[in-house]
Amino acid sequence: MTTIKDVAKACGVSTATVSYVLNGKRVLLPETRARVLRAMQELNYHPSAVARGLSHKRMNTIGILFGTVNTMVVVSHPYTSFILQGVLTASSSAGYNVTFCTDPWRTAELSAATYRDQRTDGLIVVAPPMDADIVPALASCNIPIVTVSYPGDPYGIASVDTDNLHGTRLALEHLRGLGHTRIAHLTGPVNMLGGRTRTEAYHHFMSAEGFHLPPEYAAGPGAFDADLAYAQTRRLLTLPSPPTAIFAANDQNAMGAMQAARDLGISVPIRLSVVGVDDTPEGAIGIPALTSVRQPLIEIGETAARLLFQRLAGDAPDPSTWLLKPTLVVRDSTAPPVS
Amino acid sequence: MTTIKDVAKACGVSTATVSYVLNGKRVLLPETRARVLRAMQELNYHPSAVARGLSHKRMNTIGILFGTVNTMVVVSHPYTSFILQGVLTASSSAGYNVTFCTDPWRTAELSAATYRDQRTDGLIVVAPPMDADIVPALASCNIPIVTVSYPGDPYGIASVDTDNLHGTRLALEHLRGLGHTRIAHLTGPVNMLGGRTRTEAYHHFMSAEGFHLPPEYAAGPGAFDADLAYAQTRRLLTLPSPPTAIFAANDQNAMGAMQAARDLGISVPIRLSVVGVDDTPEGAIGIPALTSVRQPLIEIGETAARLLFQRLAGDAPDPSTWLLKPTLVVRDSTAPPVS
DNA sequence: CTCTAGTGTTTAAGCGGTTAAACTATCCTG
DNA sequence: CAGGATAGTTTAACCGCTTAAACACTAGAG
């Protein structure tokens, strides 16, 4: 590997001169500059990002950490992979590299080393459980971070998320507009901001509308999991007064619900309407195609990355929560209730 | 940020001692060791991976580069995301970090800087076009690389891929076993190893079986693209003597073919059987569910990563091509031909 | 009681860049 | 034509950690 010294020696200048050619922080004689450039070419020289990083104390690299339990199956999951896509796009155009934190978060104690070694200039933490110590731990050692789907404010951190209140309203207004009044909810995990917020929004909307529904209509504890949703839906549909519509915390839950309905011989959407959240390909292709709240995941990833870059550049963005508007994709799993 | 000096000063030893505590390369008095460890705790010290990297000349990080044209939509693509998954899994357990090369490969000239700056110890290059200069360029400057779906041998590089010959045979034997003889092929891009190999394997199999098919049965140039496959299939199905089965270069092509058949009122699988490659979720969920050759993508990613780690550790693996066996997933898009 | 052989720690020179400050010409100004 | 400004380059310290080599000290051998 040729170093800056080799180049300097090769054309009889000091390493400082080569360095100035490299980053143009001083004016040099065109002739000198040309000679150095030629030598760099001939020697096939490429400066070491590591040495540079040590001097500059920044590596032009951000890390992305998926805060979910099962970190390793995360990439092929539609939610995370689209967020990742957005982060990569924004990073690419901002000249940043992205390193994947492969080491899943355990506890602040155990995982600190991986995230505090200055290998990355900052971190994007995606959807960490609300009860994990990861965000406070990272925040307390001044690592610049931006979170996705996590309450940022308490720690003075910028955070990006879907406007889940709005998304829930879209789904529920759609159902109510079709004439549904007996609308149940499959809850997501309470320790995830997205799940919790949708459930809160559901209750909020329902009481604002003056609907008084039995508690079984939003039974917890939930998860982002088709099997649990399946079981919960069976229970709902065998209630004396079953719901005519279900708002599921995400598409996986919705798929579980549709399966349960199918197994009970209850046709969707004729006798049961189902709305999910996430607009996954699986839902879109399912039979019937799932009506779903589409989160702007790529934009969320891009926004998170951009906020982090701003923060790293010094223009501190106000550490607040950025909510991006979801949209409702109406497909074939919703229809007016049979009366 | 506290440095090794702070720790050394805090407990009255030299930085060398702290360093030895850090990496245990010398025996120290238990008492000294304890004192240093305590200081590290109290000062909340975490060594800089960058400084370490500069000394060691390795960062314990590998890069992954997707060689396809449209790099930025790559993550959410099933092929790449599963490969990535495998790479991440293997890296995680080997203690390596993974950085995405967000900067898409342009030419050797333009992109060299990004890949030669020692930020990564080695590179996994996934499915680069065969006519791009990327692999030779990287190989010629001694960056340890492992390729996926690329002819590795010529450059003395380890390479991992699906055994496409075997996969093609699985698909074609399945069709022949059902009784098909008029089997057409939707070709993939010729500049991608996977596409090219499947087409070669198709021709090889057909002539070995003694089938003499019209050239229109495998018309090129192809692509991994549903629209082109759609057009090609329409042409095939309106031939005087149309095929009764189609072996598509991948699932996207197969989906295009099924759409074309549908639009022509030709029912799959009754009047046309279709086999794809990749076993994508979309294909699996489609109507009819697609019979497809499943590539062991996660294993491919893992293998590629492991080969790279071996290479980095010095145990040079023989730079040959590792072919992993695909399997055939039989679903509803194939059936015996109507006679 | 000297001499060697550990043992535990420090010194100091890197690793490959950056950059403030010093230096050396050259040029202009009064 | 001295004196200051300016332009182009070098010197050398530094970033934070590693590590060969030097050093100081004890302990056991002869």
- Collect all residues with Cβ–Cβ distance below 8 Å to A204 and sequence separation of at least 6: A165
B85 touches chain A (CB under 8 A): yes
Distance measured from the CA of protein residue A52 to the C1' of nucleotide D11, in angstroms: 20
Distance measured from the CA of protein residue A35 to the C1' of nucleotide C22, in angstroms: 25
Asked if residue B276 lies in contact with residue B290, where contact means CB atoms within 8 angstroms, the answer is yes
- Per-residue pLDDT of chain A in tens (339 residues, 90 and over written 9): 899 999 999 999 999 999 999 999 999 999 999 999 999 999 999 999 999 999 999 999 999 988 764 544 566 677 888 898 899 989 988 989 999 877 766 666 666 667 778 889 999 999 988 988 888 888 888 889 999 999 977 777 899 999 999 999 999 999 999 999 999 999 999 999 999 999 999 999 999 999 988 999 998 789 998 999 999 999 999 999 999 999 999 999 999 999 999 999 999 999 999 999 999 888 887 889 999 999 999 999 999 999 999 999 887 767 789 999 999 999 999 999 987
Distance measured from the CA of protein residue A49 to the C1' of nucleotide C26, in angstroms: 37
**A285 vs B contacts (CB less than 8 Å):** 282, 285-286
Work out whether the CA dihedral B258, B262, B265, B271 comes out positive or negative.
positive
The 10 Å Cβ neighbour count of residue B24 is 9
B221: buried, middle or exposed (CB in 10 Å: 19+, 13-18, 0-12)? Answer: exposed
d(CA A233, CA A332): 19
Tokens read off for B204: 């090889």
Same fold across A61-162+297-326 and A164-294: yes
d(CA A335, CA B252): 31
| Per-residue model confidence as pLDDT tens digits over B158-209 | 999 999 999 999 999 999 999 999 999 999 999 999 999 999 999 999 999 9
Asked if residue B156 lies in contact with residue B139, where contact means CB atoms within 8 angstroms, the answer is yes
Interface list for A 112-171 with B (CB within 8 A): 112-113, 116-119, 141
Angle B1-B7-B13 from CA coordinates, rounded to 5°: 155
**A99 vs B contacts (CB less than 8 Å):** 61, 97-100
A37 touches chain B (CB under 8 A): no
Interface list for B 260-299 with A (CB within 8 A): 281-282, 285-287
Q: How far is B172 from chain A (nearest CA, A)?
A: 28
Domain ranges for chain B: 4-47, 61-162+297-326, 164-294
Tokens read off for B50: 């960058």
The domain A61-162+297-326 is placed in CATH, from the list 3.20.20.410, 3.40.50.10680, 3.40.50.2300, 3.30.460.10, at: 3.40.50.2300
Residue of A nearest to B56 (CA): A50
User: Nearest residue to D14 (CA, C1')?
Assistant: A55
A316 touches chain B (CB under 8 A): no
A98 touches chain B (CB under 8 A): yes
State in words which class domain A164-294 has: alpha beta
Give how far Cα A265 sits from Cα of A226, A237, A270, A339, Å.
18, 11, 11, 18
A32 Cβ nearer than 7 Å to chain D strand: yes
State in words which class domain A4-47 has: mainly alpha
**Contact between chains at A54 and B50 (C-beta distance less than 8 A):** yes
Edge-to-edge strands, sheet with B245-248: B183-186, B245-248, B273-277, B291-294, B327-329
The nucleotide closest to A26 (CA, C1' atoms) = D8
Q: Which nucleotides of C are covered by protein (CB under 7 A)?
A: 7-12, 14-21
DSSP line for B306-326: HHHHHHHHT-PPP--EEEEPP
